[in-house]
Amino acid sequence: MHNLNAWCSSEIESLKARSLFHLPKVHFGPAGARTVVNGKKVIQLSNNSYLGLSTHPKVVEAARKAIEKYGVGSGAVRPISGTMDLHNECEERLARFKKTESCLLFQSGFTANVGVVSTLAVEGDHIISDELNHASIIDGCRLSKASRAVYRHKDYGHLRELLREARGPKSIKGKILVVTDGVFSMDGDVADLKACADACDEFDAITMVDDAHATGVLGAQGRGTVDEQHVHERWSLTVGTLSKAIPVVGGYFAGPRVVKEYLIAKARPFLFSCSAPPPVVAAVIACIDVMETEPQHLKKLWDNTKFFKDGLKKLGFNTGDSTTPVTPVIVGQGAKAAKFSDILFNNGVFAQGIYFPMVAEEKSRVRTIVSAAHSREDLQEALDVFKKCGKELGLI
């Protein structure tokens, strides 16, 4: 019999030898600007709760009331007996927020991407994906029976070439699905949805965007990249997560009602996973309420983003092409990124190292994310730590 334990141990030792194996740090408290991680008080720069809503009183109260009314879970998948009025209400609220005809909840952003891509793109169809799209999009493509191609990051001329090839030499007669992240999660840059839509219009292709890192961050009241770039009338499908600016858990599809109904009938993650617990769904609804009625959180997020991003650049760090609160500090080697993250942590700042396979080895970095919860004092202290540790490693 194959010794699985020995094989796993060997693989882990190989990762450790390259300083690329790290167990997750443990948090002792809420996802705030300052928290306790592994027993140490730190400034948190590795959390996606952009608007700081995970402890907002209205959100917490909504979750508490939902438990009192519905209990802690549905005990079933949605198609059997797991759909509550709360799920329908949440989908209606999300659809209005996203300015789409309908919305469908999934159990995570990952399952939303996997479910939508693998269900809508079938044998005889073709998928074209940005090379830096999220792993869940890539896995959705792998699970689909459609053929696929990858265009160079944000190179819409290359996208047009691939579309022309698909409709020409490859003779694709079925659907062509073009998928892009809205905000790219590792680099913090933003897709040009107008350029993408122009290419898709020319070759009768379907547009799909993953707005995970844009919902709550871009557009009016945080409605996302489609709203920010004013392409509502030209855009087909949106997928996103409910675990970032909306800091709970889950994912969603937003688009035409008939597509939602097809996903209800066919999408395996929807069909075979238990529905979201009532407190989770109620908290999502409350977050939408807050985003629509309390604009100060979004304003503070962007004020903090500018201050911190400008501070890193003035210190001499390479922050790539980021234009959003996702700000990488690129160091170029996985082991160096891991070491930089460790030194920052020891000095009171938690900024996670990111390296292969999450990014290419030469693009290894420490990824920072500021939030509306940070004070100016928090961010200045973090910049001081980055300066000290960057000099210690010879990065600046």
Q: What CA–CA distance (Å, rounded) separates 246 from 40?
A: 26
- Give 21-50+296-392's CATH code, choosing from 3.30.450.20, 3.90.1150.10, 3.30.390.30, 3.40.50.2300: 3.90.1150.10
244 catalytic? Reply is yes
Q: Residues 38, 356: contact at Cβ < 8 Å?
A: no
What is the spatial distance between Cα 220 and Cα 298, in angstroms, rounded to a whole number?
Answer: 10
Determine which one of 54, 118, 136, 185 is catalytic: 185
pLDDT of 296 reads 98
Which of 98, 158, 213, 363 does the annotation list as catalytic? 213
According to the model, what pLDDT value does residue 329 have? 96
Residues of the chain with pLDDT under 50: none
Per-residue confidence (pLDDT) for residue 279, from 0 to 100:
98
Which residue in the list 56, 98, 134, 244 is annotated as catalytic?
Answer: 244
Q: pTM to 2 decimals?
A: 0.93
Which CATH number does the domain 57-293 belong to among 3.40.50.880, 3.40.640.10, 3.40.140.10, 3.40.50.720? 3.40.640.10
185 given a catalytic annotation: yes
Residue 298 and residue 306: Cα distance in Å, rounded?
A: 13
Backbone angles phi, psi at 272, to 5 degrees: -120, 20
SS3 of residue 27 by DSSP:
strand
Domain boundaries, the chain: 21-50+296-392, 57-293
Q: Of 21, 234, 251, whose CA–CA distance to 134 is shortest?
A: 251
Mean pLDDT over all residues of the chain?
95
pLDDT at 333: 87
The answer to whether residues 260 and 103 touch, using CB atoms and an 8 Å cutoff, is yes
Question: What whole-number distance in Å separates Cα of residue 306 and Cα of residue 322?
Answer: 11
What is the pLDDT at residue 15? 87
